[in-house]
Copies of this chain bind each other. A is one copy, B any other.
Amino acid sequence: MSNKYIDFDTLKFMLYDVHGLEKMLDKKRFEDYNKETVDMFLESIKDFSDRELFPVFKEMDEKPAYYKDGKIHVHDKVKTLMHQGGEMGIISASFDYKDGGMQMPLIAHTAAIFIMEAANNHLPGYAGLTQGAAELIIHFANEELNKKYVPNMLSGKWGGTMCLTEPQAGSSLSDIITKANRTDEGYFNISGQKIFISAGDNHFTENVVHLLLARIEGAPAGTKGISLFVVPKKRPNNNGSLEYNDVSTLGDFQKMGQKGYCTSHLGFGDNDDCRGWLVGEENKGLYYMFLMMNAARIAVGRGASAIATAAYNASLNYANERPQGRKLSSDGKKNPDEKPSLIIEHPDVRRMLLFQKSMSEGSLSLVLLAAKYYDLENTAESDNEKHKYKTLLEMIIPVVKTYPSEAGNISVSNGIQVLGGYGYCSDFILQQYYRDIRIASIYEGTTGIQSQDLLGRKITMDNGRGLELLTAEILKCISKANNYNNLIEYSEKLNEKIGLAQKVLKTLMPLAIKGDYERFLADASIFMEFFSLIIVSWTWLKIGIKSNEELEKNNYTKSFLKGKLEAMKYFFSYELPKTNGLAEIMMNMSDITIKKEEDYIN
């Protein structure tokens, strides 16, 4: 079995060439970094992943995390990840110096976690949720909470989680009923249950800090009455000791994949002694959480891209080694005396590999673009610029979360198919990737929810100003691509599809205008698929431009760069055309999925 789970050159090409990381490093915020120091960081992460994460990837699947005696027992490498990884900066890399971070660009931090996730997607989530929880405290909680919790979280000594989902509410956060009762002591008494809590507990971490949504007594119904609390498993006393805070682990969820990444069922306040500290203002919990959700959604897209990347490398390796079958000669027959071909020579296998390559590299580029927008927003020198990148980020986030997840399922499935029967066997790793990646389109907001966000909020926000901004970026790329003869065919195709998107929206928008939101959003998931294909084609056109530019230099092999151009052509020839069928579906304006008085699904 191949040990190659990512192509490091591709990652660097995306970072430095496609997304111009060096230019970013020129900014004052990142003045302590240059290409060498960032590369050193990434290489140390790659070494760490090779040494500690990848070797236990299969084992973590075969010996899942489990619940026993009130605790979740996880693989020992979780400790290694949190402690050694924490020291290396996997939690704090992009945080401000003043908060104990390394003040590295998020795009570099993202690349680092991408490497780890490709090596072993069961592990980085423990650090990622800790990072997210710390970020919430840093941004919205008071000084005291910051001092008490953040340092131990950034070092990986304590874990962190996001506690949103409840048994009765599922994705519907407005139905949250976990209670927070006011006391005179500066804290609230918390009582309730949370489910599907990733990294919710483990048998060795000294403490787990939960960022929890709850409803303060008397708060308004729905999402407007939800507040955010810090609820540690053990509360730090003033003398530095830890006291049990009545947070109990009630069980776990055994899953089809990501079995080493535990999913817990937590109880708060079973003995009326669970304290929570309010983060920021009352009833603004969902607003705070949603700022964090952006990062979480990029993280899911990043993880799915990483799994699809690792799966691609595994099937590419197999296809390059396995001889089977022969080419058809011009009489449509095969000559049995001929040596068998490698399976990579069969067009159908090549098609599947090119899909895997274009899907996974396109996704990686998209994920890095989101991180870059974040960095640009964060380092903007004017409000205008800040707003621009914030808007661009908002626009692409649902796609960044969804495309790698949904297309990733298909991509890894193609990876299985490349191996044939072996792909389905436990001795080969493809089947694990297939099971692991399936969660991505569910957690942190399902594809249905992302699609409603895209069409219902993002496309329409600011009277369509976000869409205009994004379109302008795409048109800029198209006009640049027109300078290269070998790209004009593709830039024209992309341009045409922008026209098609406008046509689709022209058909759909009147529904929103007349207030028929249900029908307006009924095909949101189809729109997501349609829009994603256009966005990913744009990222490929950009990769195409950079590949052309680099062909005139000597930084990469010709083979490497031509491989990128091939993948671009594949995407435009085999993926982008699917927008045609999808547009037809939407413009049908069928009301078949709307529940009517007389209604039959049986």
Chain A residues close to B by CB (< 8 Å): 7, 165, 169-172, 174-175, 195-196, 221-223, 253-257, 263, 316, 322, 324-332, 334-337, 340, 344-351, 353-354, 357, 409, 413, 416-417, 420-421, 423-427, 431, 434-435, 438-439, 441-443, 446-448, 451-452, 456, 512, 515-519, 521-526, 559-560, 562-563, 565-566, 569-570, 573-574, 577-582, 584-585, 588, 590, 592-595, 598, 600-602
How distant is A341 from chain B, measured CB to nearest CB, in Å?
9
Cβ-defined contact, A253 with B425, below 8 A: yes
CB nearest neighbor in B for A518: B328
Cβ-defined contact, A578 with B577, below 8 A: no
Sample of 10 A–B contacts (CB below 8 Å): A174-B334, A223-B336, A256-B426, A332-B456, A347-B518, A347-B521, A348-B448, A348-B451, A570-B592, A574-B585
CB nearest neighbor in B for A344: B601
Query: Quick one: which of B223, B322, B424, B592 contacts A573, CB cutoff 8 A?
Result: B592
Known: A170-B324, A347-B593, A522-B351. A438 touches B424 (CB 8 A): yes
Q: How far is the CA of A222 from the CA of B326 in the complex (A)?
A: 11
Query: Quick one: which of B254, B417, B452, B569 contacts A446, CB cutoff 8 A?
Result: B417
**Chain B residues, Cβ within 8 Å of A441:** 417
How distant is A328 from chain B, measured CB to nearest CB, in Å?
4
Cβ-defined contact, A590 with B602, below 8 A: no
Could you say which of A322, A324, A516 has the most chain B C-beta atoms within 10 Å of its C-beta? A324
Cβ-defined contact, A446 with B424, below 8 A: no
Q: How far is the CA of A448 from the CA of B331 in the complex (A)?
A: 20
Known: A172-B326, A316-B601. A409 touches B413 (CB 8 A): yes
Cβ-defined contact, A517 with B585, below 8 A: no
Query: Quick one: which of B421, B590, B600 contacts A165, CB cutoff 8 A?
Result: B421
**Chain B residues, Cβ within 8 Å of A171:** 324-325, 420
Query: Quick one: which of B328, B427, B517, B563 contacts A601, CB cutoff 8 A?
Result: B563
Known: A350-B595, A584-B580, A601-B354. A442 touches B420 (CB 8 A): yes
Cβ-defined contact, A566 with B353, below 8 A: no
Query: Quick one: which of B447, B517, B600 contacts A330, CB cutoff 8 A?
Result: B517
**Chain B residues, Cβ within 8 Å of A451:** 348
Query: Quick one: which of B7, B253, B254, B347 contacts A522, CB cutoff 8 A?
Result: B347
Known: A421-B442, A522-B347, A592-B570. A582 touches B585 (CB 8 A): no
